[in-house]
Amino acid sequence: MKENRNVTPRQMESDGQQKLPVALEAFDIVRDTLISAMGNTAELRQALLACDEWIANVVNYSAAKDFAFSFLVDGSTLHVSFTDDGIPFDPTLHAGTAAEFEALDLGGMGIALIREIAAAMAYERVNGRNVMRLSFFIPSEDENCKEEKSI
């Protein structure tokens, strides 16, 4: 298991989380950190799309003042965790992808997209913080080669 690869200790808090600004620019930090650690693959770009949606939710709706993320690579699975001190919000309790497009336009489209992309999505409230955990299947280069050969 490799944790937070290629992230310098000064970037990480003592709890292993990297502080993020409560701003859309937080995505740039997450993107650069994950691409540096994992490479710029199609699977990672999909995972980043889901991360971007979650960051936009936190920035636009949570009223958070403190925001952070961490990640862990376990075999072919990328686990990303976001924490914030904003308004409690459990996206797992909200409507899934079956809603009409017009209804999604009123809210929830990003959550539906996250659900579609992520292999797993979990939420909990811990010590006054929202904790959002997303998992993504990111095959290794060897697995990508095997898939290409079998086509």
Q: State yes or no: pLDDT of 67 exceeds 80.
A: yes
Q: State yes or no: pLDDT of 108 exceeds 50.
A: yes
Mutual angle of helices 109-117 and 42-61, in 10-degree steps? 150
Owning domain of residue 143: 2-150
**Three-state SS for 79?**
strand
pLDDT at 105: 52
Amino acid at 25: E
Dist. CA 20–CA 140, nearest whole Å: 28
Dist. CA 135–CA 79, nearest whole Å: 4
Amino acid at 73: V
Number of H helices, E strands in the chain: 5, 6
pLDDT at 130: 98
- pLDDT tens digits, 10-25: 334 446 899 999 999 9
CATH number at residue 48: 3.30.565.10
Predicted TM-score of the model (pTM): 0.79
What is the count of structural domains for the chain?
1
pLDDT confidence band for 139 (50 / 70 / 90): confident
String of DSSP letters for 13-53: -TTSPEEE-SSTTHHHHHHHHHHHHH-S-HHHHHHHHHHHH
Element (H, E) at 69: strand 67-74
